[in-house]
Amino acid sequence: MINIDRLRARMTEMAKIGATPNGGVTRLALSEEDKRARKLFVKWMEEVGLDTRVDDFGNIYGKLHGLERGLPVVMAGSHLDTVPKGGNFDGVLGVLGALEAVESLIEQGVKPLRSIELVSFTNEEGARFTPQMLGSGAVTGQFTKDYVYTREDNKGFLFKDELEAIDFKGEESNRPREVSAFIELHIEQGPMLEIEQKSVGIVEGIAGFSWMQVEVAGQSDHSGSTPMSMRNDSLVKAAAIIQKISLWAENRDEQTVATVGNITTSPGIINAVPGETKFTIDFRHPNREELYKGMEEIKQLIKTEVEESSLSSTVKEIRTHQPVHFSNEICTLMEGTCRSLSHPYKHLISGAGHDAMYMQHITNAGMLFVPSINGKSHCEEENTEWEDIECGIVTLFHVLNKLANQPLGVASNNLNNNIKQ
């Protein structure tokens, strides 16, 4: 149903943009590398015959017009940006895989009832501008335009200025209007599909997450003249807390994950006892009640540990997002498609966030996963077998065809009512 060699050639060409010495890629949002990738994607869509446009957040669209142009569109896509020294499949497979599915539909003479629209969202990774998923969050009303435009990278460059610098600041009128369904193909970024020898993952939802910053306050003293028994070392206490959080997560349930990803100390010099230590916590769970219960358990754990000493602590919630559950109708359609194609599949929950989690706010959304070799992602070793990729994109091909030609009975959504100005 698809031309896997054509897709592989495009993936290989795209991987040259921002290529790293060890076979990965660095293509940060709104960078020169991102600009080159965007232009290449637009070029390929135009060669296929799609109508292309760019909105005011830099999201790129390509439309295959359906027989009934007034109907809400079926949308598919992902993102082109990467993390530093990332892999060649995260995000870009969902963009170019959707392009391959649509081009194959055209080649086979399929004239869909609804228009099918491809999309590449801006700054999904959040590696340059935080938070992540700014492009999809903006067009679904999760972020205001002013909030997005004033995001700064670590060098002080503004999102709006960098968007203009790469010449991808489009018009507000180019935002999507009515979307009947959204599908995102992505690598799993975890080991379960490979372990269970499944080629396709049917994603039922995305785990909720809470990001917190913990500050432990002690006393800074000279490292050489302060006896060990008289120290209030904030880093030592923070280390004990971090270890207990890890053990707590290991023993809680299989769906609980907690990560400490950033640690800073003050004064941060070799010959002073750390008077202040800050660290971040990333806690995730697919169940809403357990997410909020776990947040309180973490706070209590920190409080109990600190109260045993003369130190103090504060916990600040950076961002919390509730679990997302995808459309049951779309999951059922994906399962039926996998069965008819004899593709081995598995239902699962995504621990990582994706653009589809925001799209679910305004339409019926779904995700398809393909396996990641050794569960690797966000690294140069990231890889996926092409046989699995073919299964995933053939599944996507049929799902898009059915969605574009067989109404699911879902109400269309006017995105104008969801946008925060």
pLDDT, one tens digit for every residue, the chain (421 residues): 899 999 999 999 999 999 999 999 999 999 999 999 999 999 999 999 999 999 999 999 999 999 999 999 999 999 999 999 999 999 999 999 999 999 999 999 999 999 999 999 999 999 999 999 999 999 999 999 999 999 999 999 999 999 999 999 999 999 999 999 999 999 999 999 999 999 999 999 999 999 999 999 999 999 999 999 999 999 999 999 999 999 999 999 999 999 999 999 999 999 999 999 999 999 999 999 999 999 999 999 999 999 989 899 999 999 898 999 999 999 999 999 999 999 999 999 999 999 999 999 999 999 999 999 999 999 999 999 999 999 999 999 999 999 999 764 443 333 333 333 3
What is the torsion angle, in degrees rounded to the nearest 10, for the CA atoms of residue 219, residue 225, residue 230 and residue 233? Answer: 40
User: Which secondary structure element, helix H or strand E, spans residue 119, and what is its range?
Assistant: strand 116-121
403 three-state secondary structure? helix
CA distance 379 to 28: 14
Which residue blocks in 180-267 are alpha helix, DSSP H? 192-195, 234-252
CA atoms within 13 A on the CB side of 357: 22
Task: Report which residue type is found at 335.
Answer: E
| Sign, CA torsion 336/338/340/344 | negative
The pTM of the full predicted model, rounded to 2 decimals, is 0.89
67: Cα separation from own chain's centroid = 33
Residue 110 phi, psi dihedral angles, 5° rounding: -75, 130
CA distance 291 to 281: 13
Tokens at residue 181, please? 């369904």
Task: Report which residue type is found at 276.
Answer: E
Terminal-to-terminal C-alpha distance of the chain: 42
CA distance 48 to 96: 12
Closest CA to 404 of 71, 149, 171, 169: 71
The reported pLDDT for the residue numbered 51 is 98
Q: By the 8 A CB rule, do 387 and 397 touch?
A: no
Question: Which DSSP symbol is given to 272?
Answer: B
Residue 405 phi, psi dihedral angles, 5° rounding: -120, -15
CA distance 160 to 279: 30
What is the torsion angle, in degrees rounded to the nearest 10, for the CA atoms of residue 395, residue 397, residue 399 and residue 405? Answer: -160
How far is the CA of 56 from the CAs of 59, 120, 289, in angstroms? 7, 13, 37
The reported pLDDT for the residue numbered 411 is 38
Which residue in this structure is represented by tokens 């040259």?
Answer: 16
